[in-house]
Amino acid sequence: MRQEYSVVVVGAGAAGVGVGVALKHIGAPFTIVERGAIGESFRRWPAEMRFITPSFNSNAFGLVDLNAITPDTSPAYTLRKERLSGADYAHYLAAVARHFELPVHTGVDVRDIRRDHDGFILETSLGQMRADFVIWAAGEFQYPRLNGFRGAELCLHNSQVRSWRELAGEEYVVIGGYESGIDAAIQLSNMGRRVRVLDERASWDVDDSDPSISLSPFTQQRLQRALRDKRIELIGGTRVVEVVRHDHTYAIRTDDGDWHTVATPPILATGFVGSTHLIADLFDWRDDGYPLLSEEDESTRTPNLFLVGPSVRHDRHIFCFIYKFRQRFAVVARAIGQRLGLEMKPLEFYYRAGMFLDDLSCCGAACAC
């Protein structure tokens, strides 16, 4: 039997739970479906990984915790921690879902979405759902990028590591030098291992005020400390083109003709594909590979399909951190609420808290200017 819904939110991570709370404030009828558990992607982080953005319980002074997904909650206050692990943050998301009594249904795998007249049919592991509106909040971090060069399948993606302490070996090569690659190098160095980091951009040398482009201060500080131990070698301006296995070693060839050999599988820190590829036919696409959206974060190809989370892009504005993409929750909720004829006044709470960015020409906290 097909289930009928007004709004279906796909994904119960930071984006899905956050936009769910905004919908709850305006009384929108909705449900959230999640393939795994609430905060599933965060639960898969390596045990040693921590948020690069600090948490601080500053709500009482009118400032929202950088990692909060609602104006009136704080991971720092809830967990009594400043630097959160993935498991910590999943715990916070689950607590928010309970507090706001969000209708989250876990263990539901959405396998396909297609248009149905003025709505959508969702094929799921529990049968068909029909929705008037779909908010895609499935995120990026469940689909690692594994095909960037020949032999990439021989490597170990950093998202497949449960704990760096579980890896055997004394020497490693990390491919990719942005946040996850440098974090991997730091963690392995702290455990006494030698690490070479290969990165085409030399991200550690990029000078930009936007942490979506350059390394965060937290990572830069840890990297400088780790470099003093002389176990990390940073090799920039070089692109890996092939990995070959020879008996018990791995040979990594770069575009400048150099070879790097290591006895352990190379660590891939090459990022993620993003979940929007699962419904690619429902979007038009930008030249940089991100979905093309209206000013209300609606698909320009498929009316009533909205996107929230780290894949949102507008011009050169990058919304890939929580403190960035959370500012679009109320924008999406307002667009849907207006079409449903609901009262929008509760969303003023988001505006007063600085979590309502609807002017894309601005240069604020969410803009890479």
Q: What is the CATH number of the domain that holds 202?
A: 3.50.50.60
For residue 197, being part of any structural domain is answered with yes
pLDDT, tens digit (0-9, with 9 covering 90-100), for 217-235: 999 999 999 999 999 999 9
pLDDT tier for residue 369 given thresholds of 50, 70 and 90: very low
| 280 in the same domain as 216 | no
pLDDT tier for residue 335 given thresholds of 50, 70 and 90: very high
For residue 202, being part of any structural domain is answered with yes
Q: Are 357 and 327 in contact (CB under 8 A)?
A: yes
pLDDT, tens digit (0-9, with 9 covering 90-100), for 74-133: 999 999 999 999 999 999 999 999 999 999 999 999 999 999 888 999 999 999 999 999
Q: Are 330 and 356 in contact (CB under 8 A)?
A: yes
Strand-pair partners of 10: 33, 136
pLDDT at 363 over 60: no
For residue 213, being part of any structural domain is answered with yes
| 135 in the same domain as 10 | yes
| 211 in the same domain as 328 | no
pLDDT at 368 over 50: no
3-state secondary structure of 29: coil
Counted domains in the chain: 2
**DSSP assignment letter at 80:** T
- pLDDT value of position 364: 46
3-state secondary structure of 275: helix
Structure tokens, 321: 């951190």
Range of the domain at 221: 152-268
> How many residues does this entry show for the chain?
369
- Cα(first)–Cα(last) distance of the chain, in Å? 50
Our measurement of the distance from residue 78's CA atom to the centroid of its chain's CA atoms, rounded to an integer in Å, reads: 22
| 104 in the same domain as 86 | yes
pLDDT at 69 over 90: yes
For residue 364, being part of any structural domain is answered with no
Which of 36, 41, 75 is CA-nearest to residue 55?
75
3-state helix, strand, coil in the chain (%, to 5): 30, 25, 45
| 70 in the same domain as 44 | yes
For residue 366, being part of any structural domain is answered with no
For residue 359, being part of any structural domain is answered with no
- State mean pLDDT over 243-266: 95
| 168 in the same domain as 125 | no
| 264 in the same domain as 196 | yes
Beta strands in the chain (DSSP E): 3-10, 30-34, 104-106, 110-116, 119-124, 127-136, 156-157, 171-175, 194-199, 232-236, 240-246, 249-254, 259-262, 267-268, 305-307, 313-314, 317-318
Distance CA 12, CA 38 (A): 5
| 187 in the same domain as 213 | yes
- State mean pLDDT over 230-248: 95
Contacts of 223 (CB under 8 A, 6+ apart): 182, 185, 186, 204, 215, 232
| 17 in the same domain as 133 | yes
Q: Which amino acid is at 155?
A: C
